[in-house]
Chain A
Amino acid sequence: MKRTFALPMLLALVGGCAQTPYWTLTDNDNRVLKSTSFEMTVPAGWTRTTTADTWEQVKVDDKLQTLLLEQVTASRDGVSLHAITVTRRYPDTAFPTLKKKASANMQPLEVADLYVSELRKRYGLERLRVLSNKPAQINGKQGFELVMEFKNDDGLRLRTVSNGFVDKTGFYTINYRAPVLYYYDRDYSDYAKLVRSFRQSKGAFDPPPEIPGWAKLFT
């Protein structure tokens, strides 16, 4: 009895263990990253997430909240050093620490200002400076391009360029963060190509997914 029971169990376990790896190195066969709401071409030689993260935890009024989002990440050398993140936040939770929603009739300048406030508040980064803020087109939609910078405790300048837009499906950002020394300029053109290749998918207009049952404890 035990032996006949064990074999099907083992097969079931092995079958269920074939998991998709979290990271993949981009080569000519897998340069197009397709997620539910968007797709883009990732530069060769970068490593990227294979599937999108679908939730994040954010402290709002000192309480941890689990919020839905869709986020993919790419990096050449390691995310603690530099990273491109592409994020879709849903309209109702576009600016969670500000408790503001995104709506399709928002002007790009207004969205950019809210985004900077959100970053300062979320990360406690009072010293985050805006170096430039100008209109931009992303996937044919009117948006913004923000360039921001701050120094870490060791005095290293860290710069983030953010291209973003809002439509009825939510708030989208394509960010590149890197040290100003050497890394930012080295990889900026890869980032710019990725932004130009960004396309919203039909999936963006589907209803948002459900929050996992366990996460509802924190919602």
Chain B
Amino acid sequence: MKRLLGLFFLSLLASGCATTGDVTAFKDANDTSKIQEGEGRLWHEASSYDTTIERSGQIYEDRRATAYLQGVMDRLYPEFKGKIHVHLYDSTQLNAFALPNGSIYFNIGLLARIGSEAQLAAVLGHEAAHFIEKHSFRQRVSAKNASAFAVSGIPFASLAAVSSISGFSRDLEREADMKGYARLVKAGYDPHEAHKAFEQLAKEVKALGIEEPYFFSSHPQLVERIDTFKELAAKQKSGGRVGTEDYNAVVQSIRIEALQKDLGQDRYKSVILVMEDSNLRRYYPAAGHYYLGEAYLRRDEKNDSQKALQAFQTAEKLAPNFAPTYKSLGVQYMKAGNKVRAREYFNRYLTLASKDAGDRAYVQQYISSLK
């Protein structure tokens, strides 16, 4: 009798369970208005998340860059124009994520790292594929089914868990890679650029010993993706749009701001990694050497003071109108006891810096103390 009762209750638990086989991908923009009730609930949560992101000031405001990214997305998925919305996310972490309602968020940190429009398209193509293939809904259905029968009943299907914020299952990530890659080729981008976006990420994850997944992949998974994209590209002829110049023109100012933000969050290792790599450094304005100098000072290992001084001197030579360099040089000379040179640099800073520059009052105080 008790066994029968148990079976009865188990069947009740199972009665609400859908299967992921019932879920079909969107065909085009019109299709996105025909969603099931469960999908509607996810969309609603996603829209609330959109509101939270906007309200809490996490959108990075740069109309030109945002329009540029949206343009690339619309080129990749023309039949979904108006339904997939790209936003810049104000974080220097190397990430991008898609919400179930078609909102795609691209971190400025990742934007600063990649090198061409084709690489950008590889990432955007991947993210949009998550939305079109309804990976969020599939993952939530799986989570509900799994948790219904888990005796401990720990839920894990919050919005973060079913969007690409935290990453999908390996199979869904692979599907997004394949679908995104196909779009990249169809839109006329050079397929040999796709793996490069992930190569830089893999390098940084390894060099910095980062344990948490970046772009939802641990290092081994990133290497696997790079190999997959290389294999796919090997079957294609070279050629197609790369868009390096257009890309760099748009993200130039974001790159320097990302360096500043990295430093402000103690990610000095990332700054050093980027600015010490000649392949990456060429994408950054000359003022990047100033941030390299500050990163050396923050790292404070053997010979870093000397390296910092050299970096500041390079910044002075290559970006002579960048005011913060002179403040840092002044501080270096002040600490070394060279009052004359320190005063020279501090005065140069005051000449170049704007009237409301944050460090002005400190520099004026330094000058007074050097008299």
Known A-B contacts A109-B362, A133-B358; the reply to A154 vs B266 at CB < 8 A is no
**Chain A residues whose C-beta falls within 8 Å of the C-beta of B56 in the assembled complex:** 127, 150-155
**Chain A residues whose C-beta falls within 8 Å of the C-beta of B365 in the assembled complex:** 135, 142
A180 at interface, CB cutoff 8 A: no
* Cα–Cα, bound, A216→B59 (Å): 42
Chain B, range 59-91, C-beta contacts under 8 Å to A:
90-91
Residue among B52, B331, B361 making CB contact with A153, cutoff 8 Å:
B52
B6 at interface, CB cutoff 8 A: no
**Chain A residues whose C-beta falls within 8 Å of the C-beta of B358 in the assembled complex:** 130, 132-134
Chain A, range 115-150, C-beta contacts under 8 Å to B:
116-118, 120-121, 126-127, 130, 132-135, 142, 150
Known A-B contacts A127-B56, A153-B52, A153-B55; the reply to A121 vs B359 at CB < 8 A is no
B16 at interface, CB cutoff 8 A: no
Instruction: For the complex formed, measure the closest distance between the CB of B89 and the CB atoms of chain A, giving whole angstroms.
Output: 10
- Over the window 328-359 of chain B, the binary record of Cβ atoms lying under 8 Å from chain A Cβ atoms (1 yes, 0 no) is 00010000000000000000000000000011
**Chain B residues whose C-beta falls within 8 Å of the C-beta of A132 in the assembled complex:** 358
A117-B266 in contact (CB<8A):
yes
A65 at interface, CB cutoff 8 A: no
B58-A127 in contact (CB<8A):
yes
- Over the window 301-336 of chain B, the binary record of Cβ atoms lying under 8 Å from chain A Cβ atoms (1 yes, 0 no) is 000000000000000000000000000000100000
A127-B90 in contact (CB<8A):
yes
B19 at interface, CB cutoff 8 A: no
Instruction: For the complex formed, measure the closest distance between the CB of B205 and the CB atoms of chain A, giving whole angstroms.
Output: 16
How many of chain B's residues touch chain A, expressed as a range? 20 to 34
Q: Which residue of B lies closest to A144 (CB)?
A: B362
- Chain A interface residue count, Cβ-Cβ cutoff 8 angstroms: 25
Q: Which residue of B lies closest to A98 (CB)?
A: B266
B57 at interface, CB cutoff 8 A: yes
**Chain B residues whose C-beta falls within 8 Å of the C-beta of A152 in the assembled complex:** 56
**Chain A residues whose C-beta falls within 8 Å of the C-beta of B359 in the assembled complex:** 109, 133
Chain A, range 176-207, C-beta contacts under 8 Å to B:
none
Q: Which residue of B lies closest to A99 (CB)?
A: B266
B36 at interface, CB cutoff 8 A: no
A108 at interface, CB cutoff 8 A: yes
Q: Which residue of A lies closest to B89 (CB)?
A: A126
Known A-B contacts A97-B266, A151-B56; the reply to A126 vs B261 at CB < 8 A is yes
Q: Which residue of B lies closest to A154 (CB)?
A: B55
A107 at interface, CB cutoff 8 A: yes
Q: Which residue, of B92, B93, B266, has the highest number of chain A Cβ atoms within 10 A?
A: B266
Instruction: For the complex formed, measure the closest distance between the CB of A129 and the CB atoms of chain B, giving whole angstroms.
Output: 8
* Cα–Cα, bound, A194→B362 (Å): 24
Q: Which residue of B lies closest to A120 (CB)?
A: B265
Q: Which residue of B lies closest to A107 (CB)?
A: B331
Q: Which residue of B lies closest to A152 (CB)?
A: B56
* Cα–Cα, bound, A52→B56 (Å): 33
* Cα–Cα, bound, A97→B358 (Å): 25
Question: Which of B's residues lie within 8 Å of A, judged by CB?
Answer: 52, 55-58, 90-93, 261, 263-266, 331, 358-359, 361-362, 365
The 4 closest A-B CB pairs, nearest first, are A155-B55, A134-B361, A117-B266, A109-B362
Q: Please, could you name 27 A-B residue pairs with CB atoms under 8 Å apart, sorted by A?
A: A107-B331, A108-B362, A109-B359, A113-B264, A117-B263, A117-B265, A120-B266, A126-B90, A126-B91, A126-B92, A126-B261, A126-B265, A127-B57, A127-B58, A130-B358, A133-B358, A133-B359, A133-B362, A134-B358, A134-B361, A135-B361, A142-B365, A151-B56, A153-B52, A153-B56, A155-B55, A155-B57
